[in-house]
Homo-oligomer: A and B are copies of this chain.
């Protein structure tokens, strides 16, 4: 059960034009830097990307936007990205804005084999347009469908050759949910260890959801909003 591949290039080898991908991360935190770089180099186009955010102009999914590889973003928040705005206003790029919890839960639903979920988020707003509304116990909910991405790409802190993943702090965010949703799931990790080295009680995502894994390199882990206190 060895799922190790050499690197990002091998991991993404069969990602093709016009596919639907899901990518982990929140802002620039916990994003699959190596796979994004390999996708930019490979030059696949017409992608639909399910990702909470779209990176910044010169990092994260923003790098793929610069190369005009993305046809559609499915996200909850896409600020802080001038090239994104330009492509959106010019009609080169589509965007489907989804409440953050709905996005997370539609990914989870895929991993749990649940075709739909019901959430109150967006009831009475334009997000509800065209959707089934149903009342349970006096409260209205929207029916939202599970995602079905061809590939999921995530970043973890540690992983083993079975694909078991461990995340660190808030870089967990969407990563386990994205990993669950993919027909094929690729994980890049800061440290890849042999099976048996991770404590089975500490695993955040069991390897059954992961198909390819590799140890990434040269992580920049850029900080979007560096905030701090002065030591007094």
Contact residues of A with B, CB < 8 Å? 105, 112-120, 136-137, 139, 141, 166-169, 172, 200-202
> Of all chain B residues, which has the CB nearest A119?
B114
Contact partner, A117, options B114, B172, B202, Cβ 8 Å: B114
A137: min CB distance to chain B, Å: 6
> By the criterion CB–CB under 8 Å, are B116 and A118 in contact?
yes
A122: min CB distance to chain B, Å: 14
What would 13 more interface pairs be, CB under 8 Å, given A115-B137, A115-B139, A169-B200? A105-B112, A105-B114, A113-B120, A114-B117, A114-B118, A115-B118, A115-B136, A116-B118, A166-B201, A167-B201, A168-B201, A169-B201, A201-B202
User: A118: which B residues are within 8 A, CB to CB?
Assistant: 114-116
> Of all chain B residues, which has the CB nearest A146?
B136
CA distance A117 to B136 in the complex (A): 12
User: A105: which B residues are within 8 A, CB to CB?
Assistant: 112, 114
User: A117: which B residues are within 8 A, CB to CB?
Assistant: 114, 117
Contact partner, A202, options B137, B200, B202, Cβ 8 Å: B202
User: A115: which B residues are within 8 A, CB to CB?
Assistant: 118, 136-137, 139, 141
CA distance A193 to B93 in the complex (A): 52
A183: min CB distance to chain B, Å: 14
A8: min CB distance to chain B, Å: 25
CA distance A112 to B177 in the complex (A): 14
User: Could you list some 22 contacts between A and B, CB below 8 A?
Assistant: A105-B112, A105-B114, A113-B119, A113-B120, A114-B117, A114-B118, A115-B118, A115-B136, A115-B137, A115-B139, A115-B141, A116-B118, A116-B136, A117-B117, A166-B201, A167-B201, A168-B201, A169-B200, A169-B201, A172-B201, A201-B202, A202-B202
